[in-house]
Chains A and B, each alone.
Chain A
Amino acid sequence: MAAQADAVKPMPLRNQLLSQLAALLILAVVIFPVLWIIGMSLDPRNIARPSSLFPPSISLAAYQKVLTQPTPNPVSFARLATNSAILGIGVSILTVLIGTTAAYAFSRFNFPGRQPGMLFFVLVLMLPSVATVTALFVMLNILLGPSIRNSIFGVGLAMISGALPFAIWNMKGFVDTIPKDIEEAAAVDGATLNQTFFRIMLPLALPGLAVTALFGFMAGWTEFVLSWQFISNPDWFTLAMALYGMQGQYASNTPWSEFAAMSVIVSIPILIVFFALQRYMVGGLASGGVKG
């Protein structure tokens, strides 16, 4: 039917050209920072003042430098990447694992304490992680000792404290959009609650879980605030911290090409996961968040 309508009313050529022009203009603005950073990362001169978008010649020296010695501290790139990956994957898996059953319960069951519980989630959701950082810092320091606080595990714990409420809330929002009839049909066929949850709910909620996991991963992989405050031991530095460290306070001291190469490296895993899950993104996020 859409094809028919297309055939009946083709787009006038003038509109087509104007629209293409507008779209190309937007594309230029969208893509410019990306090209700028890629160009800079391939620039062999490692200069503070690039004069054009395209470097005179291409070299992978900056990438090589970043991969062999990313920071002035004695910490390898593999170590940084591992720390970031532990944080990203750990936060993403733990929040989804712990949060899924709770999200299901909040969406489907009616029980005493449901409303206060949800209210608590909404209130905690509004708190930016920066806001509880003081208490978490003090508590982890005293309860687990400074050496664990000063590691990726202290940061991970603190992150989960903020990521878990979001995960539960977002997944609850997604489960809300799944029709109840399917579960009712399963119950009529004699499935227990647990069977319904594992065999029917989980497969249906997979897009919601995937998007929630993606957000956990993105948050962990690029975590900065907590890491920068909690971690002083270079062994536990993350990619985000190394990237920030490279930027320096004065532009003239910044190794721009290395900074650019690092930016590209940090972005790639996120971009891959994002585009893989893109078709779930809008539904998985917009339905969460606000539906009370």
Chain B
Amino acid sequence: MASGTLPRPGVSATASKLAGHRSRRMAVTAYLYILPAALIMAIITLWPLIYQFWMSFTNYSNLNLRTDSLLMQMVGAFTGGAMADDYNSPAMVGLRNYADILFGGLGSVLSGFDFWRILLFNLMWTFVNLVFHVSLGVVIALLLNQRGLWFKGFYRALFVIPWAMPALVSAMIWRNMFDDQSGAVNMVLRTIGLPGNIRWLQQTEAPFPWIPPFVRAPDSTNVYFWMFVMFLALIIPFFFARVRRRWWQFLIAWFVVLEIVFMFVLPLILGAGGQSGVASMHTFGELFPLSFYAVLIANIWLGWPFMMAVATGGLASIPSDLYEAASVDGATWWDKFWNVTVPLLRPAMVPAIIIGMTMTFNQFNVIYFISGGGPLHSTEILVTQAYRLVNETTVNITGVGSARPYGVAASFAYIVFVVLAIITLITNRYSRATQAINE
């Protein structure tokens, strides 16, 4: 489009040669610009990743920390014998660490550990949080976007406080506020005449065990795995635009189909496949003890202002003639919201939702400092579990004895990595799809 790119006959050969020279020089400059970062990342990012990958196939523990050479220790693990003794190498265990994590072997030595429950809980935690963050953020941005509203700037400035506060500090403050004896939440409940002795962080029973979906699976199988499969089956169709257009009708129909499958067909198939025994009913509501609602409230408080800030920016870029035109056509407030605001806000919100999603998925501070993953590890997410495996766990490792399971922790980290990679690939695809529509 610039005039310089118009074809100029006669000079094209020289120009292309020049361009080739120029691009080579540019490549050299590019490498020089990248060099400092690349060197540092090779040493402190790439190398640990490789080392950790190797660790994940060994029974590495705190007993292997003393060695003269990292490389020789790695080699020793493969050769064994004197070399392994000299450099204090761990033994190679193949895929056993991964199998122990995924198929329940680790759960039998580490009480409260169940990979599929943690994964499912982590996904539900992210999903529920985002629904609240985005809807509250957009609605409050709309509220403050009204023309002629008094004290607009005052509200906008103060509403971002939860975002500006260090998450570590807010989490600890909320931990304090949820204290059953001296916390502010119970105090407020007492003030307005409600029972103010709720044991927010200790009560183990789920307050709403009837929350669907329901799954019936034989007790001899891992029911959390089947719940995870059902959750996937429930959300996958929504990645297709055709489904999203009539999402409400589709959701109900699809939900009924899945319920029939997971309540009646699944126990039949598993029963026929030799998994005999009693098949009991489980609900998604059972996954959420009272402390889940406590951490959820705290994280909603933390998360919506970012969405509000992004939505405010997005709203500012919607031309007001569109609303005026819609008014002329007799559109109601509701029509304008769904047909003007929502589609035009989407390009601004999608990147924010993806950032919010990774942040919530890995929200270490809120979970670790408020519920501590408890009670009975029922609110653990993948990152807090990863941290516990490195920092707070001692298990009986076969052939080593009671020690810190660094090898298992390394495998766990790689499994978390794969989960995150899959989520990011899907969301990246989805965000590109919406970008292309708008450009």
A residues engaging B (CB < 8 A)? 2, 5-6, 9-11, 15-16, 19-20, 22-23, 26-27, 29-34, 36-37, 47-53, 98-99, 101-102, 104-106, 109-112, 114, 117, 120, 122-124, 126-128, 130-139, 141-143, 157-158, 160-162, 164-165, 168, 193, 197, 218, 221-222, 224-225, 228-229, 240, 243-244, 247, 251-252, 254, 256, 259-260, 263, 266-267, 270-271, 274-275, 278, 281-283, 285-287, 289-292
Contact = CB atoms under 8 A, between A and B. Distances in A.
Interface stretch (B45-53, B214-222, B269-277): B45-53
Give the top 3 A-B pairs by smallest Cβ distance, nearest first: A135-B52, A131-B413, A109-B30
B118 interface: no
Given A16-B148, A289-B354, A292-B428, A138 B65 contact: yes
B348 interface: yes
A61 B46 CA distance: 49
Given A32-B184, A222-B167, A127 B420 contact: yes
B203 interface: no
A70 to B, nearest CB: 15
Contacts of B177: 33, 36
A140 to B, nearest CB: 9
Given A6-B148, A37-B173, A286 B348 contact: yes
Given A36-B173, A259-B176, A137 B44 contact: no
12 contacts: A16-B150, A30-B161, A36-B173, A47-B182, A50-B187, A52-B187, A127-B413, A128-B362, A134-B52, A165-B41, A256-B182, A292-B428
Given A33-B184, A101-B36, A111-B26, 17 more contacts: A19-B143, A20-B149, A105-B29, A126-B358, A126-B424, A130-B364, A132-B48, A161-B41, A161-B45, A197-B33, A224-B365, A251-B179, A271-B165, A286-B313, A286-B351, A290-B354, A292-B432
Interface in B150-173: 150-151, 155, 157-170, 172-173
A33 B391 CA distance: 30
Interface string B47-91: 111011001000010001101001000000000000000000000
Interface of B: 23, 26-27, 29-31, 33-34, 36-38, 40-41, 44-49, 51-52, 55, 60, 64-65, 67, 70, 140, 143-144, 146-151, 155, 157-170, 172-177, 179, 181-182, 184, 187, 301, 305, 309-310, 313, 320, 348, 350-352, 354-355, 358, 362, 364-365, 369, 383, 386-387, 390-391, 406, 409-410, 413-414, 416-417, 420-421, 424, 428, 431-432
A5 B159 contact: no
Nearest to B139: A22
A252 B421 CA distance: 43
B51 A247 contact: no
A47 B187 CA distance: 15
Contacts of B420: 126-128
B33 A290 contact: no
B392 to A, nearest CB: 10
Given A36-B173, A105-B30, A290-B355, A139 B383 contact: no
B40 A33 contact: no
Contacts of B310: 282, 286
A50 B182 contact: yes
A128 B383 contact: yes
A218 B359 CA distance: 15
B151 to A, nearest CB: 8
A128 B367 CA distance: 15
Nearest to B69: A142
A126 B309 contact: no
Nearest to A264: B169
Residue of B417, B421, B431 with most partner-chain A CB within 10 A:
B417
Contacts of A161: 41, 44-45, 48
A263 B358 CA distance: 26
A292 to B, nearest CB: 6
A9 B149 CA distance: 12
B170 A33 contact: yes
Contacts of A164: 37, 40-41, 45
B371 to A, nearest CB: 13
Nearest to A219: B166
B160 A278 contact: yes
Given A131-B417, A134-B52, A49 B182 contact: yes
A159 to B, nearest CB: 10
Contact of B65 (A33, A132, A142, A278): A142
Contacts of B175: 247
A142 to B, nearest CB: 6
Contacts of B369: 244, 247
Contacts of A104: 33
A16 B147 CA distance: 10
A266 B161 contact: no
Contacts of A132: 45, 48-49, 52, 413
A224 B431 CA distance: 32
B233 to A, nearest CB: 24
Contacts of A225: 364, 387
A279 B420 CA distance: 31
A283 B352 CA distance: 11
B301 A33 contact: yes
A133 B387 contact: yes
Given A33-B174, A132-B49, A193 B351 contact: no
B294 to A, nearest CB: 13
Contacts of A9: 147
Nearest to A146: B65
Nearest to B166: A222
Contacts of A228: 391
Given A27-B158, A130-B387, A134-B52, A267 B34 contact: no
A185 B387 CA distance: 51
Contacts of A254: 176
Nearest to A11: B148
Contacts of B351: 286-287, 289-291
Contacts of A34: 161, 165
Given A135-B51, A240-B168, A102 B148 contact: no
Contact of A139 (B70, B144, B161, B390): B70
A52 B20 CA distance: 74
A282 B355 contact: no
B26 A123 contact: no
B182 A48 contact: yes
